[in-house]
Amino acid sequence: MIRIISALVGLGFTVVVVFAFFTGLTTVISDGELKPETAEHEFHKHPKEVSFAQDGLFGKYDRAQLQRGLQVYKEVCSACHSLKYVAFRDLSALGYTEGQVKALSAQFQVPGIDSNTGEATTRPGTPTDYFPSPYPNNVAAAAANNNAIPPDLSLMTKARHDGTAYVYSLLTGYQEPSAELVKKFPASAPGPGLHHNPYFANLNLAMAPPLTSNGQVTYAPGNPEPTIDQMAKDVSAFLAWTAEPKLEKRRQTGWAVLGFLIFATILAYLSKKQIWSAVKPRRED
């Protein structure tokens, strides 16, 4: 009786699995037949191939590039985007001295309280403060950006697939929509206040091209020429650092742990050989 019940249960389970498989297959086929191709599916592009100093298993941040990226963020991106998870004191990791960090933080106005009236006010930033938002609230942010709230950039390269390459591609990808796109999907042409960018998910975004000309940011002597491409790379590398400032230390710790595990494995194997060397295998008659 138990065997019969077990067989019936197994048969029922098999029927359910087969039914689910064919139901899913039918759904996929029907979706492919009934749903037309979308402009996003056909014209959206994957991020460009671009390399950074921190890429790879042994990669390290280029401090000079990070400083240039901070300058691009400060002079261009900070007008709309915040870095609410980055404190000014964290910039010491980029090679800045304590005095330089104090001077840089004082260039930003952060929320404060008037000690005499108790009312909200602003004050120059200090190293313990975090990068402030350029807007007092989301309503003001949306009103200034065609009803689109500029996202915080602290973790942007971790929040997007191929994050660093995505940011670089987005910054350098603004262009006019192709004639094929306009002809095939006229509704996908950018409307008022929107800008076409094939590296953005739905092809059009409210953010105007932030990098518009070579030399928009003036680098210190000895640095590469501030072309649009170079500035995009530099700020993308900087945002990779804001998202993962402990990258180098994590890799160093990982290699040390891996080396220890390899050594411990070899030691355990040799110990096993030594302990069992005097034990002869049992003979069977």
Q: In this predicted model, what pLDDT tens digit does every residue of 58-83 receive, in sequence order?
A: 999 999 999 999 999 999 999 999 99
At 32 the pLDDT is 47
Count other C-beta atoms under 10 Å from residue 65's C-beta: 23
Calculate mean pLDDT across residues 209-236.
Answer: 96
Handedness of CA 138, 142, 214, 59 (dihedral sign): positive
Count other C-beta atoms under 10 Å from residue 78's C-beta: 19
Give the model's confidence band at 276: pLDDT under 50 very low, under 70 low, under 90 confident, else very high.
confident
Give the model's confidence band at 273: pLDDT under 50 very low, under 70 low, under 90 confident, else very high.
confident
At 112 the pLDDT is 87
At 41 the pLDDT is 86
Q: Are 210 and 228 in contact (CB under 8 A)?
A: no
At 274 the pLDDT is 86
Which residues does the annotation place in the binding site? 77, 80-81, 207
28 pLDDT more than 90? no
Handedness of CA 119, 120, 122, 125 (dihedral sign): positive
Percent of the chain residues past pLDDT 90, beyond the cut:
67
33 pLDDT more than 50? no
Beta bridge partners of 87: 130
Structure tokens that stand for 149 in this block: 């709230």
Give the model confidence (pLDDT) of 138-188 as tens digits. 999 999 988 899 999 999 999 999 999 999 999 999 999 999 998 888 888
Calculate mean pLDDT across residues 48-53.
Answer: 95
Which residues does the annotation place in the binding site for heme c? 77, 80-81, 207
> Considering only the top CATH level, what class is 41-86+131-246?
mainly alpha
For the ranges 42-56, 92-106, 108-122, 222-236, which has the lowest average pLDDT? Answer: 108-122
In the chain, domain spans:
41-86+131-246, 96-129
Burial of 167: CB neighbours in 10 Å, binned 0-12, 13-18, 19+: buried
Strand residue runs (E) in the chain: 109-113, 120-124, 195-196, 204-205
Give the model's confidence band at 10: pLDDT under 50 very low, under 70 low, under 90 confident, else very high.
low
At 277 the pLDDT is 76
22 pLDDT more than 70? no
Q: Which amino acid is at 155?
A: L
Highest mean pLDDT among 22-31, 137-146, 232-241, 251-260: 232-241
Q: What CA–CA distances, in Å, run from 216 to 5, 171, 190? A: 77, 14, 26
At 11 the pLDDT is 65
17 pLDDT more than 50? yes
25 pLDDT more than 70? no
